[in-house]
A and B are shown apart, each in its own frame.
Chain A
């Protein structure tokens, strides 16, 4: 039996055993993955470490096979007529997609509670949220159903669930990976990225999905370095910046302790750690929510009940085809964000809200330009607290938005950022460390993460559900 067939069979068995208790998968592609593994039974191509490896793909990334639902009722039967660039690249590299993963509807949320399908549970403890919106991908990797998954990150949607589930996740530089075939939420912020169990795997997956695509005009033609071969290179003089703004009063004491201990580990690896300032951090969430909702209100206008997606039954006129199809098809959080974005863009409020947010975005971006004159990477907790319990924050949209406080700046500035495990709480929940880097400097972040993982074991600890 070829390695590919064995890998797929083993992944499908694990999904079968574990997924009923985690609910990470929106769709499981048993037959398709098995037959693809059989056709792949050619000699392994050494250049492609993903050859024959099972991968899970977030269900807002278009695949020709199966459905692409965005965990939304409005797309519950949608079958994409084309595949995303990242999906074509995965398949060219010999990866085998074993299923699509759950998410907050249209990637809008921080817990997967907003999924129109069902919530995903945190593999470390089912009372806790897995984070979101790529909660399905993070939970699938954490419970080792797969070791590789794709997510998307508009304001922390890869890093935050990676942190809550104790896995690694990377949001690449804006434009590093093609967005062709990613269902658009906020086009100036969205970016597809990898989730995996360690930094080496992140490097492998990023190397496959990164690169120019003429079908996404915001995708850059910058050469893709060999991320994997750079992992073990000596880091030389490594300057890590720490910003007081990312260690505020809201940081959980156990998170603070774990991150401070990681800083000591990096110092032993030769890093120089110094303080940097990111003075506009307190405005990040306000700025982010105005911009992302404005872009979402525009992007989601395409769901009109005419060309694809849900259409209301017996509309009384043409207007109702729009207004009732959309009201029936979208969940509460999606409607809320469309409303906020429409308001921020509406006549009389555009300058006060949307345009103001764009100007503050400039200042946030400039904070990073200045900070990166003094350092190569900025280190912080990925999230102020470890995973919280279901329902704990769902009563207040604003309180939920604030859980992404350390994540959204990287999207606003377009810079790469990753999250890796750096500890566990006394209750056994994972804690994540975030590293933000300069534009197109993913290699540096991966190198730091990999070398940290050579001397620590946090990423190797698995939830009991894996046993």
Chain B
């Protein structure tokens, strides 16, 4: 059975950009372990030489003429922004004084 330890769970939470509580870390660790134990049955299947399917239907690149058309517009694009200084999205400082 796949065991994922607390450190791994914290690593996945970091990659997922989820600030989880200690209880959540413990709970998700246990539940992910259960699900991973279940999905391990895929190892019984011989997939030697089998191509992966990312899409069930044959989709290839779809091209169109490069013609300018009306776009969403700044006002609409910003209408749901939690913070803005039109025409920009506003966020906290990315670099602090020391690292700048």
Chain A residues with a Cβ under 8 A of chain B:
77-79, 81-82, 173-175, 188, 214, 217-218, 220, 280, 282-283, 285-287, 289-290, 297, 301, 304-311, 315, 317-324, 326-327, 330, 335-336, 338-340, 342-343, 346, 353, 355-363, 365, 396-398, 401, 412-415, 439
Contacts and interface: CB of A to CB of B under 8 A. Distances in A.
A360 B42 contact: yes
Contacts of B89: 306-307
Interface in B55-91: 55-57, 59, 62, 64, 72, 76-77, 79-83, 89, 91
Contact of A175 (B13, B43, B57, B76): B57
B94 interface: yes
A365 B72 contact: no
Contacts of A214: 62, 64
Nearest to A439: B57
Contacts of B62: 214, 217
Nearest 8 Cβ contacts at the A-B interface: A414-B56, A358-B52, A308-B80, A311-B82, A359-B47, A323-B19, A81-B76, A286-B39
Nearest to A176: B57
A114 to B, nearest CB: 14
A361 B53 contact: yes
Contacts of B79: 79, 81
B91 A362 contact: no
Centre residue among B32, B39, B72 by max chain A CB count within 10 A: B39
Contacts of B94: 318
B41 A282 contact: yes
B24 to A, nearest CB: 7
Contact of B16 (A309, A321, A338): A338
A317 B92 contact: yes
Given A81-B79, A220-B57, A412-B56, A318 B72 contact: no
A362 to B, nearest CB: 4
A81 B51 contact: no
B34 interface: yes
A362 B51 contact: yes
B47 A363 contact: yes
Interface of B: 4, 9, 12-20, 24, 28, 31-32, 34-36, 38-43, 45, 47, 50-57, 59, 62, 64, 72, 76-77, 79-83, 89, 91-94, 96
Contact of B50 (A173, A363, A396): A363
Nearest to A189: B56
Contacts of B14: 323
A297 B36 CA distance: 16
B56 A359 contact: no
Contacts of A305: 82
A326 B19 contact: yes
Contact of A174 (B28, B39, B57): B57
A315 B20 contact: no
Nearest to B59: A218
Nearest to B25: A339
A330 B79 CA distance: 21
Given A79-B80, A297-B16, A327-B18, A218 B39 contact: no
A310 B81 CA distance: 9
A360 B57 contact: no
A423 to B, nearest CB: 31
A110 B47 CA distance: 30
Contacts of B83: 311
B45 A397 contact: no
B68 to A, nearest CB: 15
B18 A175 contact: no
Given A217-B62, A397-B34, A398-B34, A290 B50 contact: no
Given A397-B31, A439-B57, 7 more contacts: A286-B40, A286-B41, A318-B92, A353-B39, A357-B39, A359-B47, A363-B50
